[in-house]
Amino acid sequence: MNYDLPPPPASVGVSNVADLQYRNYEGPLISRTMRWWIIAKSGMQNTMKKPAFWVCVAFCLLPYLIHFAIYYFTQGLTQQAAAAGVGAAGVLGAGDPERYGQLVYTCLCSDTNLLSIFIIALLIGTGSIAADNRANALMVYLSKPITKGDYLLGKWMGIFLTLWIVALLPCLLLFLLLMVVYTTDGFLRENPTLILRILAASVVPALIHTSLLIGLSAWSKSPRLVGSIYAGIYFVGAILARILGNSLYGNDPDMNNTVQHFSVSGVIEGMIQYILHITLSPALLQKRDDTTLAMPIVAPLAIAAVVLIIGGIVAARTKINAVEVIRG
């Protein structure tokens, strides 16, 4: 059925002067399938416009660049050593199957990298829904053919994809570098699953930061408030976990280690360590003796991670579901 009003009287014949009056849009309208992607894309475009974002990305790259530089400058020495028949496989300790994983861990979980990822998360995550709350943007969104689920998914994906790519890309480059250099030394043979582990490990900080920030952001109207709260949880949580671990389980190094990992940053680091399947060597721990640190007990950490992720999403969903488009 045609619901149009009769069109305005058409101009007679062909005219030299174009009719620039308002015309109705008669073009295509695609249906709903990937509506969340529009929101995610819009969020990512906004992020890329911020100079602070790129500064943080530069800081993320720093640990990788440093290790690359170390490798590059020492390569000359190792080649000479190899030519002279003295063993050693470059920078990394000989024969240690975990050495590649440990290198990735060093870079990925370096303070600089994790901190930069955290700051990027703050930058894009705090305002995601909080700014919308303040501007009542949900009114605009919901009057279009999208659901609240689409909205939430779009926001979540916008942040998640950004954080994941920032964590993943430098890692991938490192992997390529290692592949180029150490294939002959058995790089791919020794650690065939490394690439998959890298993919999984880089997902962890993205998942946790995104979900928690979305959860917090949905309940506030002020991005700054969300930022301060999350920063508080992050840093103070880490300190408290350390204190708790030492005081409760001073004599039990495994339990001590696990409890110390019971903060947001701890969970991230712990899960990455588990996924990369490494123990932290003395070199990594910067200790002089032979102490190694085994992986923390995974189960509680994994549960904590899942709780954080699901909790954040549920919190956001609850708040958004309560919004009404037209108020009486």
Residues that bind other proteins (CB under 8 A): 1, 3-8, 22-32, 35, 38-39, 42, 46, 127, 131-132, 134-141, 143-147, 325-328
Residue among 35 and 261 whose Cβ is closer to other proteins: 35
Smallest gap from residue 138 Cβ to other proteins (A): 8
Q: Are 92 and 103 in contact (CB under 8 A)?
A: yes
Alpha carbon separation from 298 to 49, 100, 150, 206 (Å, rounded): 39, 21, 33, 19
**Identity of the amino acid at 210:** T
Angle of the 148-182 helix axis to the 194-218 helix axis, nearest 10: 150
Residue among 23 and 288 whose Cβ is closer to other proteins: 23
Smallest gap from residue 228 Cβ to other proteins (A): 19
Residue among 34 and 239 whose Cβ is closer to other proteins: 34
Residue among 154 and 170 whose Cβ is closer to other proteins: 154
Q: Are 205 and 163 in contact (CB under 8 A)?
A: yes
Smallest gap from residue 137 Cβ to other proteins (A): 5
Q: Are 194 and 104 in contact (CB under 8 A)?
A: yes
Smallest gap from residue 19 Cβ to other proteins (A): 13
Residue among 25 and 84 whose Cβ is closer to other proteins: 25
Q: Is 98 helix (H, G, I), strand (E, B) or coil?
A: coil
Smallest gap from residue 124 Cβ to other proteins (A): 11
Q: Are 217 and 128 in contact (CB under 8 A)?
A: yes
CA 110 to chain centre: 15
CA angle 156–110–59, rounded 5-degree value? 70
